[in-house]
Chains A and B, each alone.
Chain A
Amino acid sequence: DQQVKQNSPSLSVQEGRISILNCDYTNSMFDYFLWYKKYPAEGPTFLISISSIKDKNEDGRFTVFLNKSAKHLSLHIVPSQPGDSAVYFCAARSNSGGYQKVTFGTGTKLQVIP
């Protein structure tokens, strides 16, 4: 049962254009969402996050949007740069029995073409 889904395994975008990465979730108990970025042969690194009480969070070229009614969040990268080429993981947090559990999506590989 995949509670966090990233339905696009890959995405190609021209340099300078907008990249939109999508993430859907099924568990209404998720209260905090994060995006991680992963380069080959490295571990994931935190990129941006959003609380369930907000619908938008912006950090430079990166913006995350949350639509709670649709159980959908998206990451926008504007403008896209070749250095943004990486795998992006969506992650969602829930509290269960006093433990904060984080569930990761399957990842979307972004390629930014110069």
Chain B
Amino acid sequence: NAGVTQTPKFQVLKTGQSMTLQCAQDMNHNSMYWYRQDPGMGLRLIYYSASEGTTDKGEVPNGYNVSRLNKREFSLRLESAAPSQTSVYFCASKLSNENIQYFGAGTRLSVL
């Protein structure tokens, strides 16, 4: 029972490099989310996808893009990484009519 799977678990980038964080869920959830966690800041929403085919900005979308590839997969792309994007990134999913979100184990990203 995989739940929400994130890849990679760790990544080090140089400033200006690009990369895509992958997220997949096997719970047939409609809604998917990308958060970042920084010390003293809690979890902040970057982008979300309420259903397949839709994406919307969250609280801190600048510097990121997302793709809801299909119902299972929701990717987060950094086009030109900056040191301020050093963080732990979490993907989450839930059913549209439920309140509980299910999180992946996170991707720890360092931008040098």
Q: When the two chains form their complex, are residues A44 and B43 in contact, meaning their CB atoms are under 8 A apart?
A: yes
- The answer to whether B103 and A45 have CB atoms under 8 Å apart is yes
Chain A, 24-52, CB within 8 A of any chain B CB: 32, 34, 36, 41-46, 49
| Of the residues B4, B50, B90, contact of A99 by C-beta under 8 Å | B50
Query: Chain A, 1-37, contact with B by CB distance < 8 Å: what is the 0/1 string?
Result: 0001010010000000000000000000000101010
Measured between alpha carbons, how far is A102 from B104 in the docked complex, in Å? 17
Query: Whole-angstrom distance between the alpha carbons of A45 and B4 in the complex?
Result: 12
How far apart are B11's CB and chain A's nearest CB, in angstroms?
15
Known pairs A49-B99, A49-B100; A43 contacts B90 (CB<8 A): yes
**Chain A nearest CB, measured from B88 CB (Å):** 10
- For B50, the chain A residues whose CB sits under 8 A away are 99
Give chain B residues whose Cβ lies under 8 Å from the Cβ of A101: 45
Most buried by A among B41, B42, B101, B103: B42
**Chain A residues whose CB sits within 8 angstroms of the CB of B92 once the complex forms:** 43
Which of these, A43, A93, A105, A106, contacts B99 with CB under 8 Å?
A93
Cβ contact within 8 Å between A89 and B103: no
Q: Which residue of A lies closest to B40 (CB)?
A: A106
- Return 17 A-B CB contacts under 8 Å, by A number: A6-B42, A32-B99, A34-B99, A41-B106, A42-B105, A43-B106, A44-B43, A46-B102, A49-B99, A99-B50, A99-B56, A101-B45, A102-B101, A104-B35, A104-B42, A104-B43, A105-B42
The 5 A-B residue pairs with the shortest CB-CB distance, nearest first, are: A43-B103, A104-B43, A106-B42, A104-B42, A46-B100
